[in-house]
Structure 1
Amino acid sequence: MSEDGTQGLTVIAFIGSVFSPYYAWDTSRDPFAHCAVNVVLYGEGRNSFCMTERGAKSLSRDARSIRIGPSAMAWDGTSLTIRLDEVTAPIPSPVRGTITVRPGGITQAPQTLDAAGRHRWWPMAPASPVTVALSEPAVNWSGTAYFDTNHGDEPLEDAFSRWTWCRADLKPGAAILYDVVRRDGTTQNLTLRFDADGTAREIAPPVAAELPKTGFWRMPRPTRSDDGRASVVRTFEDTPFYARSLLSSTLCGRPVNPVHESLSLDRFKNPLVRLMLPFRMPRPFGG
């Protein structure tokens, strides 16, 4: 997110694209056959969304880098450099440029999200300086980034019914709330706070706060805050199974503007929803 909060960017590299309809329909369940770089650029005008799926021949990786099609990420020991060359969908337009993330420290270990340990989430660098320099569209800004990794041994919809996640920049450091409803009905509510160098700090669990459902798809988006109050500043994404929003609330005794995500795996596994996804997630013929 930019320093003034008016622009944001999300980049996710997938090996085994968990939201891919092609992956769900593939009986071989080969994750290397379903790779993608998801890019979402938020600004004061129209959002830009890219998620072109590619096959195993488009993937190369080693201990410090990964390339999926024309886009790549590389770690040099101090910085993560992301070079983007993607195309939006359903209306094609280029998204090209470089993002540089400079973590001040790395957190100690991943968290397990399910009782069996099949799904791991590691918020590696919850608050890191970032520089965005895109040539297409012409976007340049600096701000604070969040960097994590996820690993799973089964489809998300097999383990979870829904979850919400939000991250608030505390300047320095960050607070993260991750509330999971598992397929068996059990829950897990993570309340985490980290300094800028990755050091974990204790935080009193915030209390439940209700937010209005999204305007079109009516996605629920509950959250938590110190005083049980929160409001929506802007809805970034309103889809049949996923919502991303900018909130106003209070965490750790401070007024904050968290980025909030709400995911319904019950909705996602609906066959009609999956038939809609290729319009936003194209896969080139033979790719």
Structure 2
Amino acid sequence: MIPWPNEIDERLAGFNLAVPPNGYAWWYIDALSDDGREGLTIIAFIGSVFSPYYAFARRGGLTDPLNHCALNVALYRDNGNRWTMTERARGRVARTVNALLIGPSDLSWDGTALTININEVSAPIPGRIKGRVRVFPAAITKQAFVLNAEGNHRWWPIAPCARVEVEMEQPSLRWQGEGYLDSNAGDAPIETGFRDWEWSRGALRDGAAILYEAERRDGSRFDLAATFDAQGNMQPFERPALAKLARSGWRVDRNARSENGAHVVKTLEDAPFYARSVVATTLLGEKVTLMHESLSLDRFKLPVVQAMLPFRMPRRR
């Protein structure tokens, strides 16, 4: 466990951090509404790790990650989800230490809140997604993690405890809830470092719990179970037993740690190589609702999967 990149501070390590050729960086937000009926995820990518265009370009050699940037927004609702992930080239990207612009959308940090102004079009069925999301971290953590022996994949759980405010014009939405903010960065394509992983986080009475379990390409593992309090202090805990969950519609394996069984409440994303779910479990004596993801990078690499991706990930030059 080391600080990353060199010093972690309250500027979120800088949106202008260096991203080498074939590398990546992303900033991830998720949230569930207080009434449990709404949810969202937002991911800002430099060097979009799941982009078929970036993967194809890398076959020709070293590739500029700034030519493959995207803002992924997913809104989860009982009356219909919305999803967008349009890739932009370097000419539509601008960044400073505290701000990142990708096409018509942007993120900015003012020392108190991360504000995301969204102005995107969904795919494959076009529809406007426009509005503002604000993330208020309870604290900024000082822990970051190197995920493999080579040190070329890194993860920082920036704000395990946060409040999120959602004000969307299109579709018309307004809600608040508990949320989460982190960042990942790497100096090589993510599929070269890992076979698969399962990650989840959930709010506790006095903080949040994070579980991260990944199998590296060399067969070794990165496994973490930790709680974070409202001040950002981390405390590892012993992982409870693994509970087998129902496979996704695309037959992606899903598992969760639990002291008393676990089950999928709702599948939010169901893709050939990825599933995002709401999972009910028990951790540290508490009933916990997890935002949970399962990722198969072996599946992601398959040519047939790569051929499917442009239908949901258009590219604008």
Aligned to 1:52: 86
Which residue identity does 2:296 align to in structure 1? S
Alignment map for 1:117-196 (pairs within 5 Å): 117-196=151-230
Deviation string, structure 1 residues 99-120 (Cα, Å, up to 9, x no partner): 1111111111211111211100
Deviation at 1:198, TM superposition (A): 0.9
Deviation at 1:202, TM superposition (A): 3.5
Alignment map for 1:74-93 (pairs within 5 Å): 74-93=108-127
Partner of residue 254 from structure 2, selected from 193, 203, 221: 221
Alignment map for 1:1-287 (pairs within 5 Å): 1-26=32-57, 27=60, 28-214=62-248, 216-227=249-260, 229-284=261-316, 287=317
- The separation in 1 between residues aligned to 2:72 and 2:52, in whole angstroms, is 15
- Which consecutive aligned stretches of 4+ in structure 1 deviate over 4 angstroms post-superposition? none
- The separation in 1 between residues aligned to 2:201 and 2:159, in whole angstroms, is 12
Aligned to 2:17: none
Question: Which shows bigger deviation, 203-212 or 146-155?
Answer: 203-212
Q: In 2, are the aligned partners of 1:127 and 1:172 still within 8 Å (CA)? A: no
- The separation in 2 between residues aligned to 1:168 and 1:203, in whole angstroms, is 14
Partner secondary structure for residue 137 of structure 2: coil
- The separation in 2 between residues aligned to 1:147 and 1:261, in whole angstroms, is 15
Which residue identity does 2:195 align to in structure 1? S
Deviation at 1:204, TM superposition (A): 2.4
Deviation string, structure 1 residues 182-207 (Cα, Å, up to 9, x no partner): 11111121101101221112422222
Deviation at 1:150, TM superposition (A): 0.5
Which residue identity does 1:273 align to in structure 2? V
Deviation at 1:225, TM superposition (A): 1.4
Deviation at 1:212, TM superposition (A): 1.1
- The separation in 1 between residues aligned to 2:101 and 2:156, in whole angstroms, is 21
- The separation in 2 between residues aligned to 1:248 and 1:12, in whole angstroms, is 24
Which residue identity does 2:50 align to in structure 1? F
- The separation in 1 between residues aligned to 2:292 and 2:146, in whole angstroms, is 20
Partner secondary structure for residue 272 of structure 1: helix
Deviation at 1:153, TM superposition (A): 0.7
Partner secondary structure for residue 73 of structure 1: strand
Deviation at 1:124, TM superposition (A): 0.5
Q: Relative CO higher for 1 or 2, CA cutoff 8 Å, sep ≥ 6?
A: 2
- TM-score normalized with structure 1 length: 0.97
Deviation string, structure 1 residues 29-53 (Cα, Å, up to 9, x no partner): 2101000000000011211110000
Deviation at 1:259, TM superposition (A): 1.0
- The separation in 1 between residues aligned to 2:228 and 2:39, in whole angstroms, is 21
Deviation string, structure 1 residues 169-190 (Cα, Å, up to 9, x no partner): 1133110100001111111211
RMSD (CA atoms) = 1.0
- The separation in 2 between residues aligned to 1:149 and 1:202, in whole angstroms, is 20
Partner secondary structure for residue 142 of structure 2: coil
Partner secondary structure for residue 51 of structure 1: strand
Structure 1 spans left out of the alignment, 5+ residues: none
